[in-house]
Amino acid sequence: MPISRRYFLKSSGGAALAASGALWTPQVAHAQLTFGDMRLDVLSDGSLRLPGSFSFGPMPQDELGPVLAAYDQSPELLTPPCNVTLLRSGDRNILFDVGSGPDFAPTAGLLLDSLDALGLAPEDITDVVFTHGHPDHLWGLLDDFDDPLFTEASYLMGKTEWDYWIDPKTVDSISSDRVPFAVGAKRRLEAIEDNIEFFNDGEEILPGVAARASFGHTPGHMAFEIRSGSQAAMVVGDAIGNDHVALARPAWISGSDQDGETGAATRLSLLDQIATEQMPLIGFHINQGGIGRVEKASEGYRFIAET
């Protein structure tokens, strides 16, 4: 793949981080799943660096330690990948979320390089579907001139999620550490308000793509069941936020969820369906390529990556 100026800048930023002791390797490689006439690619938008307390804070600390140790997961630092899903079906190129763009995290914002690795440019995207409005899923929406980057795309978002982020009162009701999330979401969504379609739980929003309410991480978070004949996969966004504690102890409240109790109930429901139906899932912050299946374990579930 030719090395673009954007990739060079990202790599330079990564070198600076490495020099300061923060490890980051730019990745544009993707995992892939094909069924029927549909092809799903999991594209890297880079990764994040978050304090462990962001997710682990509300969890029972005496029980948490052994679970983290079993997965070799640090309690102090989370470095989740950011996996953007691309669905190609017929003449449609559908993105589920658009990544961070350049303004959220120095270790993220690689989506355009990952698209380029597949021979695609932003103007080739026909539809953009949002799971929710957090920065690592939404802030890649605009270009350097604050115009929509995906110039030929139609945009789709759950009505509950849209209403939450577009509401000027959200900035006053959201937790203080997430005020920038609300400000950034509203500004970006206003840029596409003349080209947005809304949907609700259970609706087929595009051919073979059905919305699944998965509230909790945000007030209107949506997952998506992609189906071709008897084969299906579930794009879970952040409803299942990692491949360790979220599966091993799905009932535990996560600090990453805006509504922890609802988020836990959603997680349990999704995992039960995915495990029962042996349906592949694609998770935005799931390691090992982002695609896999889950199976029941003694106290929760375990993730099995697609090979």
DSSP string, 211-242: EEE-TTSSTT-EEEEEEETTEEEEEEETSS--
pLDDT at 84: 97
pLDDT tens, residue by residue, 157-182: 999 999 999 999 999 999 999 999 99
Distances (CA, A) of 197 to 59, 147, 157: 37, 18, 7
Domain boundaries, the chain: 5-305
Yes or no: say if 126 and 91 are a contact pair by the CB < 8 Å rule.
yes
Q: What is the pTM of this model?
A: 0.90
pLDDT at 264: 98
- Integer-rounded Cα Rg, in Å, for the chain is 18
The pLDDT-based confidence of 32 (bands split at 50, 70, 90) is confident
Rounded to whole angstroms, how far apart are CA atoms 135 and 180?
A: 9
Q: Report phi then psi at 232, rounded to 5.
A: -150, 160
Quick one: average pLDDT of 194-203? 97
Distances (CA, A) of 113 to 7, 103, 142, 210: 7, 16, 16, 28
8-state DSSP, 190? H
78 Cβ neighbours under 8 A, 6+ residues apart = 48, 49, 50, 51, 52, 54, 55, 242
Q: Match domain 5-305 to its CATH number in 3.40.640.10, 3.20.20.150, 3.30.2290.10, 3.60.15.10.
A: 3.60.15.10
Give the SS3 label for residue 163: helix
pLDDT tens, residue by residue, 59-97: 999 999 999 999 999 999 999 999 999 999 999 999 999
